[in-house]
Amino acid sequence: VYKRQVMTRKLIIDTDPGVDDAMAILMALASPELEILGLTTIFGNAAIDVTTSNALTLLETVSRSDIPVSVGESKPIASGYLGPVPQVHGANGLGDAELVTPNTSASAEGAATFIHRIAAENPGQVTILALGPLTNLAVALQRHPDLPALIDRVVIMGGNARVPGNATPVAEANINNDPEAADLVLGADWPVTMVGLDVTHQINLTGAAIDRITSRESAGARLLGNALPLYRGFFEVTNGLDGIYVHDPATIAYLLDPEAFTTQSWPVRVETESFSRGKTWPNLGDTDEAAPPAWQGRPRIEICTEVDSDSVLRLVEQRLTASA
Ligand code: BDR
Ligand code: CA
C-alpha cells in the first residue's frame, strides 16, 4: 500500500512586507505543498527596521513565530535607498493597519549568512523566493560563490520584459530599488524564474474577491482587512482599477501551479544608467554567439510572459480563505 505523500518544496522567502508580501506569505503558510524555512527581510516598500518588524508581526498574528526571521540589507549594494512608498503600502508598510508590536525578535544571523547556511544544510533542495529588491541575494552571492550550486531555483517577483514599468515609466519597483543587485542575481549560474509585470499586470483581484477574503473570521483575514483598503485605494487612483494587482502572490501561484504560466527562456541584462535605470532587458535572439557583448555568456532565465489569470485568482482566493 502506497501512502500518497504531498511533496513539499522548501522555501526561503526574501521579503519587504509590504501589503502584497503579507498576502503572499499568508498564501504560502496555507499551502501544504510549501515549507517555509525562514523569512529574510529587505528594505523596499519600507525601511529595513519596519519590514523586519512587519515580518515578525505577521508571523505572530497567525501563530507561526516558529519560523525564523533574519535581517537583511538596509540599502542597495551601490547606491542609496530610494525611500519608502507610503502612498502604496502605508507609512508602516502594511497599509497603516494598526499592528501589535512583535514579542519575538529576529535571529542574530544576518540574511545572507542564513540563506547560505540553510542552502548548505539542504543542498539542491531550497527555492529562494524573492519578493523585494534583490540586494540580499546579491550580497549572498558575493560572499558565498558556492551558493548557486546549492540552490534548486530562484523565483523572483520583479522586472518587466515587454511591458512598461510601475516605479518609473520603464522600471519595476523591486528591480528599480537595486538594479546593480538585480543584474548580478539574473546573471548568476542558477535557475531563475522571473514573475514580473508582464503577467502580474494581468492578474486583477477584484474588490468583491478582496471582500470575500477579508470577511473571514481569522487573524490573517483581519490583518488583510485592515491593510488592504489603503493599497486598494492606490490602484483605484493610479490605475482606475477595481481591486488590486496581486504581484507577490503571483509567485506563490507559480510555485503551486506553474502550468498557469507561459514562460520564455531569455538572457537578461538590467540597465543601471540613465533614465532607464532598473529596466530588465531580455535578448530575444536565438543564439549566444549572435548576442551583443552585453548579453554574451549570460544564462537564460525563465520569464513569465503569459498567464491564465483566472486560475491564479482562484488559487489566491482559495489559499487566502483557507489561511489562519
Ligand atoms: C513589487 O513592488 C512592491 O511594491 C511590491 O511588494 C511588489 O513586490 C511590485 O512591483
Ligand atoms: Ca514585495
Please report the atom of ligand 1 found closest to the CA of residue 16: 6
Residue 6 has pLDDT above 70, yes or no: no
Residue 4 has pLDDT above 80, yes or no: no
pLDDT bin (cut points 50, 70, 90) of residue 7 is confident
Residue 289, pLDDT score: 84
The average pLDDT across 244-259 equals 98
Residue 287 has pLDDT above 90, yes or no: no
The average pLDDT across 104-127 equals 98
Query: What's the gap in Å between 142 CA and the centre of ligand 2?
Result: 23
Residues in contact with ligand 1 by the CB-under-6-Å rule are 18, 20-21, 45, 88, 131-132, 157, 166, 172-174, 247-248
Which ligand has an atom closest to residue 41 CA?
A: 2
Query: What's the gap in Å between 288 CA and the centre of ligand 2?
Result: 32
* pLDDT > 90: percent of the chain: 94
Residue 1 has pLDDT above 60, yes or no: no
Query: What's the gap in Å between 45 CA and the centre of ligand 2?
Result: 7
110, 119, 126, 153, 164 from 145: Cα distances, Å: 17, 12, 16, 16, 33
Mean pLDDT (the chain) is 96
Give tens-digit pLDDT for 171-203.
Answer: 999 999 999 999 999 999 999 999 999 999 999
Q: Pairing relation of β-strands 244-245 and 204-205?
A: antiparallel
**Of all helices (H) and strands (E), which one includes residue 262?**
strand 261-270
Residues 6 or more apart in contact with residue 127 via CB below 8 angstroms: 9, 10, 11, 12, 151, 152, 153, 154, 155, 255
Active site residue 201: no
Active site residue 247: yes
Beta bridge partners of 268: 282
Choosing from 16, 183, 198, 248, which is the catalytic residue? 16
What pTM did the predictor assign? 0.97
- What is the grid cell recorded at 251? 509567485
Identify which of 228, 225, 307, 214 has the alpha carbon closest to the alpha carbon of residue 264. Answer: 307
Phi/psi zone of residue 18: left (φ > 0), alpha (ψ -120 to 50 degrees), beta? left
Give tens-digit pLDDT for 75-101.
Answer: 999 999 999 999 999 999 999 999 989
Residue 323, pLDDT score: 67
DSSP state at residue 93:
S
Query: What's the gap in Å between 106 CA and the centre of ligand 1?
Result: 23
